[in-house]
Structure formats: structure tokens, C-alpha cells
Amino acid sequence: MTSGNGITEALLVLADGTTFEGEAIGAAPPTTLLDRAAETAGVPRKVEEEGWVATGEVVFNTVLTGYQEVITDPSYAGQVITFTYPHIGNYGVTAADDEARRPFCRGVIVRDLARRRSNWRSDGDLDAFLRHHAIPGIAGIDTRRLTRHLREMGAMPGAFGTADHAIVKQAAADEPGTDHTDLAARVTCAEPYTVGMGPRRVVAYDFGIKRSILTQLSEIATIEVVPASTSAAEVLARRPDGVFLSNGPGDPAAVGYASEAIGGLLGEVPVFGICLGHQLLCLALGGTTYKLPFGHHGGNHPVRRLETNTVEITSQNHNYCVGEGTLTTAEVSHINLNDGTIEGIRCRDVPAFSVQYHPEAGPGPHDARYLFGLFDDLMETHT
């Protein structure tokens, strides 16, 4: 429904029935989803009737800036991003800040969408950016209330849109979320490609790799990016100095083929993993993973580096974590100071290490960028 001031009213409904009122922004998704939701809810609907609904797993991110980098991070595949910072879009968007070829998130939730952009780098506004990439959104939401609810009840499926409340509620109930789903296969590259002209040769697995990661790796190596399903034999045939395991979305246990390939690389070549790559390395080492209540999504998570007893402020984006005490051939190198979860490991008998957070920090602080130097040192030692 469109109000007299031109605002299109919209609803956000979580899987537990909690409802929020707001206004539609961005693009309307295809009507096929709405048609299915209407049929399931038993609500008669004519084809020409206006209204739409979008679904996904609702999470929150606490960054103060960097909304474009967050939206274009492939690790958000299958999710609807709630920004806790109230004013989003004030400095517009620029193609230079895209972290991937397109956004893979299901939608965006904000308190206040800026009506005017102001920044010399800007070449467009956020609402137009969302429409261009067919990403729906909802604004005017009490994001403090929503965030408190997700912290108490955990990240959960939800739906939002301009359709009837019964349809949106049913769509939220039907949304399966991201559990047990191989989302890396949906965001990975179709064919290998090469980036950078550094002195070393690195093969980087694309589980949802960010461009800012490739920028950091390019300072030390020429990188051949390969699809998530690439076998260990195919990687070793390229004779790399090292292998990088990228970030990515979803449940690491659902990407068994990747952890199997990583197992075939351990001991053959130095390995460095981050985020999903960290989780997959730990699975290859015999560890286990579990889902956090509401994940770690933000640019200000404190992490202690045990070797030096120093604290890093880190950028994070993940829903799963490595189980404490499940690794026998690696030692914990980093700990999250908020909840004590494992943030990094170092193997004892093979040249491999990984961290749960994002050392490239796009967006976020640069405290952990030294890790790319450690990877370079590891390759130097084992060349």
C-alpha cells in the first residue's frame, strides 16, 4: 500500500511471528515467491494485485561505515542484513567499493535510509544501487528492538514485503534459513582466473572471496582463483607456493568436498585460511563446527593473539565456529574476548594456519593485516 506521501508501506515478520512496520526500499523481487506464499497461506491473489515478499535468515551487523562492502560480501548469501547503525546511505556508493561482482544477500533492513548522498567519491545512491542489483529492502524499522530480539532469540528466518500480513508471515515460517546448505557453490566463480603480479604463486579457493582479500594477497603473490569444487590434485598440478582458503557463506559441514580437498593439500603446500576457509581447514583436521546464536557480524570484535598477548580489533562475518577441544594436531592461536570462541589455529606438524575473522578488513580496522605477511613467511620457509 502506498501512502499519500509516496511511501510504500511494508512489513517485516520473523519466523516466531514478531512483526515490524516500515517502508519498502530497493527492488521488488520476482512475483513467483509471492504467488507461492499466497497459495500456502490460503490467501486469494490475483496476478495483477500489487505486493511482494522476500525471505532469508535475518542477522545484524554493527559496522558504523562500509555498508556497501557489507552488502556485496558474498558471505551474506541467503541472509537479510540488519544494520544497527541508524543512518545508512549518507555517503552513497561507488563501484570501487564493491567486494564481489554483485550482492548475494537476500535483502537489507535499515532504520533511516539517507535521502541525499554527500561524498566526492560517490557515483550513485544506495537505493538505486539496490534496485540495480534487484535487492529488496525495508526502512523505518526499529533496528534497536530488532537487534535486541535477535540477540535474545538468535538469528532466525524472516520475511518482509508489501504483501498482506498473512502472506508475509507464512513466507517467514516457510523460509528454511542457511543451515545444512552449501551456499559456497552458489557464490563461487565458474572458471579459474588470475589476479596480481606478485613474486609468489598462490592458488586461492573461491568460497565467496572478497576483492579486498585479493588486493592484500596481490602484494605478495600472483593469485590464481579457482572454484570451490577444485580438487587437491588440480591445485597441486599448478605447483603453487601456497594455497589460500577464502571466506564464504553458510554451514561449513555442508561443503564436505572442500574439506576433503584441503585434507589432500595439508603437508604438501603451505595453507592459510580465513572465515569459512578457517572452518573448513579445521574440519579437514578432524575438528567440528557449531552454529553461534546470532553470529559475529561487525567491525569491532576484540581478539587476543595468544603468542604476543596483544589485542586486535577485528572485522568479522560468520555464523559458525570451531568446537573447542576438537582439534588434536593444532593449537589455538587467537581467542575472541567477547565470548571466548576460537578465532585462530596453527598446525603443529604441517605448514598451515587460519583465523576466523577478516584480516583484510573491508570494512574495518587493519590490526590483523600482518597475517598476510606471516603467510608470505610461511611460503618462504617451505619453498
pLDDT in tens, 27-57: 988 655 555 555 555 444 443 356 899 999 9
What is the pLDDT, as a whole number, of residue 49?
Answer: 56
Nearest to 14 by CA among 180, 171, 240: 171
What is the pLDDT, as a whole number, of residue 60?
Answer: 98
Radius of gyration (Cα) for the chain, nearest Å? 21
What is the pTM assigned to this prediction? 0.93
What is the pLDDT, as a whole number, of residue 323?
Answer: 96
Nearest to 358 by CA among 187, 185, 213: 213
- Quote the CA–CA distance of 324 and 332 in Å, as a whole number: 9
Active site residues: 275, 358, 360
Task: Provide CATH 3.50.30.20 ranges for the chain.
Answer: 9-174
- Say if CB 261 and CB 235 are below 8 A apart: yes
- Say if CB 276 and CB 310 are below 8 A apart: no
Residues in the chain, pLDDT under 50: 4, 42-48
What is the pLDDT, as a whole number, of residue 37?
Answer: 52
Q: Hey, which bits of the chain come out as E strands?
A: 9-14, 19-26, 53-61, 79-83, 87-88, 107-109, 112-113, 136-139, 156-161, 193-195, 200-206, 221-227, 242-245, 271-274, 289-305, 310-322, 330-336, 342-347, 352-355
Sign of CA dihedral 231, 233, 236, 238: negative
- Encode pLDDT of 160-175 as tens digits: 999 999 999 999 999 9
Q: Which fold has domain 184-381?
A: Rossmann fold (3.40.50)
Burial of 381 (0-12, 13-18, 19+ CB in 10 A): exposed
Domain 9-174 has what CATH class?
alpha beta
- Using alpha carbons, list the distances in angstroms from residue 149 to 15, 71, 262, 281: 12, 22, 38, 33
Task: Provide CATH 3.40.50.880 ranges for the chain.
Answer: 184-381
What is the pLDDT, as a whole number, of residue 33?
Answer: 53
